[in-house]
Structure 1
Amino acid sequence: MPEMPEVQGLVDFLDARASGHTITKVSVANIAALKTYDPPIDALVGRTITGAHRHGKFIDLATDAGIHLIFHLAKAGWLRWYETVPDTVIRPGKTPIALRVRLDDGAGFDLTEAGTKKSLAFYAAREPRDVPGVARLGPDPLAADFTRDALAGLLAGRRTQIKGVLRDQSIIAGIGNAYSDEILHAARMSPYALAAGLAEPEIDRLNDAMRTTLTDAVAAASGKPPADLKDAKRRGMSVHGRRGEACPVCGDEVRSVFFADNSLEYCPTCQTGGKLLADRRLSRLLK
């Protein structure tokens, strides 16, 4: 799943490549992924893109008409960029393509989604906050006003596992399964630690780990075309997706805990005092 750093990489790419260009055609291939009807998606045709922005894990293409194309790539979605958009006809139900956007210079992009579980969503909206998912977002952890004290305030009183807090978009926007693993590893913290029970030094470590991990990942994604962002993400991971490999910090074996539709990875030596976490299905706590 693309998370904040990859989404920011896509935003930077689109801002540089698509801004100033006019949308000449919008083709919907998966009508179920279109979540709005007013304004109609065709209202984007003939409008010039004025910039690309990020709201959590949502991408926002603003136009000169005040209409925004907003999309969320969900778990298995991606953006495929073309310098020349293919002329092939998109056949709904026969392709992973959900949406195709063509620009006035012949370039453009597809929004694609692999697998059978379809969660990718796109919207035409007059304001970003007209999209419910955007309206529910918590603060951005890389915002200037997201301080250590702001983080402490969000954690106070939450009898919830810290892994779940980091992944909850209504609490902190933009972090998903992968980077929550990386942040907790950098902070030397168990994913099962209760947010409300963290001591002051632990909050300090978590704040530093969150800012450093995300800042470094955003920098690594910067300037890369969409086709290269996934590999860059994998290369930057210390524990996520590295079950059975050696922890780069201490050399212990990276372990996994599996849930209904995902897993978490951690280092026992760095994070849990050598204790192996029970492999229980607690997915409801990690939403």
Structure 2
Amino acid sequence: MLNQTDVNPDLFILNGIPGLEDVHLWISFPFCSMYVVAVVGNCGLLYLIWQEDALHRSMYYFLAMLSLTDLVMCSSSIPKALCIFWFHLKEISFEECLVQMFFIHTFTGMESGVLMLMALDRYVAICYPLRYSTILTNPVIVKAGLATFLRVVLLVTPLIFIIRRLPYCRGNIIHHTYCDQLSVAKISCGNIKVNIIYGLTIALLIGGFDILCITVSYTMILRAVVNLSSADARQKAFSTCTAHICAIVFSYSPAFFCFFFNRFGGHSIPPSCHIIVANIYLLLPPTMNPIVYGVKTKQIRDCVLRMLSGSKSHST
């Protein structure tokens, strides 16, 4: 046990999933399987977008941003969780914990931001189809991606310094598989009210703003699609949004559960359930997004078939 004068311990112990230590090995199999699918799927999608001229369009550039974000997001947490499950390597230094926390919170925020940009992309494509290529030029896409990334970094960085200033004198055992900011703050003997308020502020400024933009975009898309005269045109317009809507559901559903449990769940839900969902939150979008986009997007399917058959792509 650390004394009151300790500002931070040399290392933390990540305890995995409390109450389920005996089945850590069994839990690791679906975690590992999903992680492998996520890495292979997103790397494959990035390679496909880079190689195929037919995919050198704004929609697929945003998809490449999403894939890169997904790769970093799940790789920031799952390998360490598997080390805990398989080899009982639970130690993590204080600095490594802060770095992991930064990457996890930054790229979960980036995930939300990219989904928002993809909603705006669909809005421009459906509401302004003739101006699509002139509005979403490559420089605009780069600036939008960079602005989204900088927004998250500027908001998350103070959170790391707030965590760093806390005194940790209640021990160094974190009941989690990764360094989540609230889980780390809870083992501090300092006042964590600032952490809670600032964490809520980040959630509102990033998640709340992005959800509002997505909602407005799809409201405008719905109005535009309903006004189309042809049923085939309406179906085609809706089909271009299906994969993105699935990505939104996969991303925000576990995020909402984690958010509300942390703040309002109390003792009504076992901590093990929360930790499992918190890991699914980092695993489900990276696992499912390449599958959904591969199945639902005709151009990606065609490019995959063309690559498998060995034929060359052509610029469009």
* TM-score, normalised by the number of residues in structure 1: 0.31
- Bigger relative CO (Cα 8 Å, ≥ 6 apart): 2
> Which of the two has greater helix per residue?
2
